[in-house]
């Protein structure tokens, strides 16, 4: 057997049109593992089947010696006819072994070929979970999951553990979010192996006025600092800005409202005759 024959026919010299080809070697030498391994290594086969019923053995042996032949089994090949002999070594004779007989033998061995088992399917695994979101009423919201696993993958989004009609993709879009959309969202993803659930993402929808903040109860302390209260939505962050002329504003700091009313202190006020304050929603 010429070394590298598989590589030769995968390249343009033996396959002028560059047609994709899968080469399958058929092992006829039962009990001769060393010879078989050497043949596989020299020829370059990546896939080898066993002629377990010895259907083809007689056609590729002469007086106990192996006969090597490469025959094109691909139909509609632009470079070779189906069943055309590509390589003929050690005396394979078409008159003694006609191609029709070879084709029949191949058809017989097809059911007996032992191929490596396919890779088992992998269960779905969620690599990116949906995240909780807080939005103002009327905003658009998108939840998404990223999943690995053997396809096809099937998605079903749930709200408060109940399936959402038509929500069967990797993303869930909610347009014009309202208070009725608030709740716990998660995705259930499955394939032929099993199904898994994502972490829960909580959607909070605030009214337009809830995001507004008011500043009240200003007072100057004994050390010259100014203290006041910020009234806003608990859990929401606000940026407090300060100015001495209502034109140029600088950031005093960021405040997250723990309660409805949050105390804010400006220790730099002692350096200015007057100060103006405002709260901005990021």
| Alpha-carbon gap, residue 11 to 146, rounded angstroms | 39
CB 191 within 8 A of CB 154: yes
> Minimal CA–CA distance to 130: which of 87, 82, 180, 188?
188
Tell me what pLDDT residue 159 has: 98
Give pLDDT tens digits along the chain (282 positions): 455 656 665 554 555 555 566 666 666 555 666 666 676 667 666 666 555 566 565 655 555 555 566 667 666 766 677 767 666 655 555 544 445 555 554 454 444 444 456 678 999 999 999 999 888 889 999 999 999 999 999 999 999 999 999 999 999 999 999 999 999 999 999 999 999 999 999 998 877 766 678 888 999 999 889 999 988 877 778 889 999 899 999 999 888 877 667 889 999 888 888 889 998 876
Domain boundaries, the chain: 5-110, 125-206, 214-280
Number of other residues whose CB lies within 10 A of the CB of residue 275: 15
DSSP H helices in the chain:
5-10, 33-43, 99-110
Q: φ, ψ for residue 178 (rounded to 5)?
A: -130, 175
> Minimal CA–CA distance to 135: which of 57, 71, 41, 205?
205
> Minimal CA–CA distance to 28: which of 1, 67, 84, 2?
67
| Alpha-carbon gap, residue 191 to 150, rounded angstroms | 7
Which single residue is written with the structure tokens 């006025």? 209
Superfamily of domain 125-206: Immunoglobulins (2.60.40.10)
Let me know how many helices (H) and strands (E) the chain has, helices first: 3, 22
| Alpha-carbon gap, residue 30 to 49, rounded angstroms | 12
| Alpha-carbon gap, residue 215 to 210, rounded angstroms | 14
- pTM over 0.75? The answer is no
Taking phi over 0 as left and psi of -120 to 50 as alpha, with beta for the rest, 122 belongs to beta
Sheet order of strands, 237-243 included: 250-256, 237-243, 276-280
- Structure-token pair, residue 121: 């399917």
| Alpha-carbon gap, residue 106 to 99, rounded angstroms | 10
Number of other residues whose CB lies within 10 A of the CB of residue 180: 7
């Amino acid at each position: 057997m010429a070394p590298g024959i598989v590589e030769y026919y995968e390249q343009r010299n033996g396959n002028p049109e560059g047609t994709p080809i899968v080469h399958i070697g058929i092992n006829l030498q039962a009990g001769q593992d060393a010879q078989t391994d050497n043949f596989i290594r020299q020829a370059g086969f990546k896939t080898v089947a066993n002629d377990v019923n010895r259907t083809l053995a007689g056609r590729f042996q002469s007086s106990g010696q192996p006969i090597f032949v490469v025959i094109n089994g691909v139909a509609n090949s632009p470079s070779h006819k189906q069943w055309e002999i590509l390589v003929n070594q050690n005396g394979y004779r078409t008159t003694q072994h006609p191609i029709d007989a070879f084709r029949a033998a191949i058809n017989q061995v097809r059911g007996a070929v032992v191929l490596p088992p396919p890779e088992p399917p992998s269960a779905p695994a969620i690599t990116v979970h949906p995240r909780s979101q807080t939005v103002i009423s009327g905003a658009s919201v998108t939840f998404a999951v990223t999943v690995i696993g053997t396809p096809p993958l099937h998605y079903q989004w749930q709200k408060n553990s109940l399936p959402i009609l038509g929500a069967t993709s990797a993303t869930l879009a909610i347009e014009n979010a309202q208070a009725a959309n608030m709740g716990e969202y998660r995705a259930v993803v499955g394939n032929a192996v099993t199904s898994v659930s994502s972490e829960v993402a909580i959607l909070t929808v605030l009214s337009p006025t809830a995001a507004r903040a008011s500043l009240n109860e200003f007072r100057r302390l004994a050390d010259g600092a100014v203290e006041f209260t910020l009234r806003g939505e608990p859990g929401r962050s606000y940026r407090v800005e300060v100015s001495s002329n209502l034109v140029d504003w600088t950031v005093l700091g960021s405040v997250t409202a723990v309660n409805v009313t949050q105390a804010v202190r400006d220790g730099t006020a002692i350096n200015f005759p007057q100060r103006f304050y405002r709260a901005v929603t990021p």
